């Protein structure tokens, strides 16, 4: 919800019209991951977006899945599935037409040409622009990783034995394979995603929002990885942005603790994951170009970790309130304080950046973060981490200025198909050994 590049009064973009994105593909091809990530990104841009998941509709209607539910030869089961899928589609259309929505994502398998043509015609008749996204994966190791991650994140397998979940899910994939036809109808607007990111085929796609979707898909991958956030250490002059001060002695100690904690933590994870599939990935450190951020990464650099400076990770520029206490700000800019209260996300103090400005500035880092395949630790100022956090966790812009990312905590963020998960750990000298 953050960047709101394109906010309009009614939440709809100038005549871009309503867009329905329809996922296509076998189970475990990353469709839900694509749907959720895309939704998060569109919302970040300020576009009113919602996922309509056929799986969720099915889960709401049926407590348990009958044995024959995905059997392609069982006519009653097929009719039941189509009924649920149609209800979901009708709700999607209703939301686009009367619910204030602009982009709706129809997350289902939609494996036959007949079904896709039916969906296409229904949408076009309602003046909605369809865009099909087919996720194709011909690398067994990626499919296997997806199947395995499902046991962690899919609501279908809560409480199942991992082995059983994998077996059941594999069977479901085989059942879908029987009817699966890849998109061949060139009159449909579609994107084929081969092995998430390796190759893209974009056919007959028109429209501004649609091209933003493709742009985003090009940057997406769904391999497992971890993102860490940590605040930079305290500087010698923490209240003055202008001076770009060095780390204080406490700040240096904090940086040392952070490095030790991280190494110990990753070592512990490595041991625990010994028999699991979650492979160890290299860790990179990203900092801003400000001294306290760079110096907080020094112990990592000395320990051999690659450190990259990004100038766009620089904290929110406080402008003329730099160095002032809240009391002094109130005295000097009473009107500004009142305005800031009304809209803390968009308000700019004189010569300052707003959180909104900062969110726009961070767009390139967000794409970089989506593309990154290794683990990353971002050591930055709280204003920057708040914005990135809001993007990853799909939090409304109004919350951004108050998101808490305190020192000395390490925030571990794990993206999954169904959203990010977080763990916060306090960094203390004792905890590092």
Does residue 322 touch a copy of itself according to CB under 8 A?
no
CA-to-CA distance for 416 and 37, rounded, in angstroms?
A: 10
Q: Degrees (nearest 5) of the Cα angle 131, 136, 142?
A: 135
Instruction: Pick between residue 24 and residue 427 the one whose CB is nearest to a copy of itself.
Output: 24
Cα 310 from Cα 303, distance rounded (Å): 20
Q: Where are the beta strands (DSSP E) in 97-150?
A: 103-107, 128-136
Distance in Å, CB of 9 to a copy of itself, minimum = 8
Which span sits near a copy of itself by CB under 8 A: 88-96, 103-111, 275-283, 358-366? 358-366
Q: Which of 65, 77, 152, 218 binds a copy of itself (CB under 8 A)?
A: 218
- Judged by beta carbon, residue 41 or residue 254, the one nearer a copy of itself is 41
Helix (H, G, I), strand (E, B) or coil at 289: coil
5 binds a copy of itself (CB under 8 A): yes
**Which residue of 1, 2, 4, 6 would you call a contact of a copy of itself, by CB under 8 A?**
6
Q: Are 26 and 109 in contact (CB under 8 A)?
A: yes
DSSP H or E segment with residue 229: strand 227-231
Nearer to a copy of itself, 353 or 375 (CB): 353
Q: Which region among 89-97, 274-282, 302-310, 375-383 touches a copy of itself (by CB under 8 A)?
A: 302-310
Q: Crossing angle of helices 75-98/113-125, nearest 10°?
A: 30
Half-sphere exposure of 349 (CA within 13 A, CB side): 18
Note whether 89 and 110 are within 8 A (CB): no
Question: In the range 142-201, which residues lie near a copy of itself by CB under 8 A?
Answer: 186, 198-201
Whole-angstrom Cα distance, residue 65 to residue 156? 9
Distance CA 282, CA 300 (A): 13
Residue 155 CB neighbour total at 10 angstroms = 10
- The least distance separating a copy of itself from the CB of residue 234, rounded to whole angstroms, comes to 25
Q: Which of residues 162, 350, 396, 406 is near a copy of itself by CB under 8 A?
A: 350
Nearer to a copy of itself, 66 or 306 (CB): 306
Binding residue (CB under 8 A) for a copy of itself from 206, 271, 402, 404: 206
Q: Which residue has the tokens 């730099």?
A: 322
- Would you say 47 or 232 has its CB closer to a copy of itself? 47
Residues at the interface with a copy of itself (CB under 8 A): 5-6, 8-9, 13-15, 186, 198-208, 211-212, 214-215, 218-219, 308-312, 350, 360, 363-364, 367-368, 371
């Amino acid at each position: 919800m953050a960047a709101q590049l394109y906010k309009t009064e009614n939440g709809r973009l100038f005549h871009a019209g309503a867009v329905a994105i329809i996922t296509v593909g076998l189970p475990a091809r990353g469709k839900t991951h694509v749907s959720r990530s895309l939704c998060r990104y569109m919302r970040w841009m300020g576009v009113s977006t919602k996922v309509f998941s056929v799986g969720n509709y099915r889960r709401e209607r049926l407590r348990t899945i009958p044995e024959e539910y995905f059997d392609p030869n069982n006519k009653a089961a097929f009719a039941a599935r189509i009924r649920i899928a149609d209800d979901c589609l009708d709700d999607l259309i209703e939301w686009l037409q009367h619910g204030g929505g602009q982009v709706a994502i129809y997350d289902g398998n939609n494996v036959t040409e007949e079904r896709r043509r039916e969906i296409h015609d229904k949408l076009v008749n309602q003046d909605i622009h369809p865009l099909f996204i087919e996720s194709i994966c011909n690398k067994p190791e990626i499919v296997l990783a997806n199947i395995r991650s499902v046991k962690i994140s899919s609501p279908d397998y809560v409480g199942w034995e991992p082995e059983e979940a994998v077996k059941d899910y594999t069977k479901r994939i085989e059942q879908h394979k029987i009817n699966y036809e890849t998109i061949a109808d060139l009159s449909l607007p579609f994107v084929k995603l081969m092995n998430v990111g390796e190759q893209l085929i974009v056919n007959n796609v028109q429209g501004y929002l649609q091209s933003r979707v493709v742009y985003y898909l090009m940057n997406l991958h769904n391999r497992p990885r971890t993102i860490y956030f940590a605040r930079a250490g305290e500087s010698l002059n923490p209240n003055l942005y202008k001076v770009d001060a060095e780390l204080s002695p406490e700040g240096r100690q904090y940086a040392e603790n952070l490095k030790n904690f991280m190494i110990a933590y990753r070592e512990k994870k490595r041991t625990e994951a010994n028999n699991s599939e979650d492979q160890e990935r290299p860790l990179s450190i990203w900092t801003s170009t400000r001294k306290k951020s760079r110096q907080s990464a020094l112990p990592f650099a000395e320990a051999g970790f690659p450190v990259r400076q990004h100038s766009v990770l620089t904290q929110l520029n406080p402008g003329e309130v730099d160095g002032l206490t809240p009391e002094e700000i109130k005295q000097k800019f009473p009107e500004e304080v009142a305005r800031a209260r009304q809209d803390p996300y968009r308000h700019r103090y004189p010569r300052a950046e707003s959180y909104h400005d900062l969110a726009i500035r961070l767009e390139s880092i967000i794409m970089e973060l989506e593309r990154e395949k290794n683990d990353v630790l971002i050591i930055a100022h709280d204003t920057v981490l708040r914005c990135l956090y809001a993007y990853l966790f799909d939090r409304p812009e109004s919350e951004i200025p108050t998101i808490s990312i305190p020192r000395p905590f390490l925030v571990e963020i794990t993206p999954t198909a169904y959203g990010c998960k977080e763990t916060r750990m306090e960094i203390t000298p004792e905890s590092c050994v």
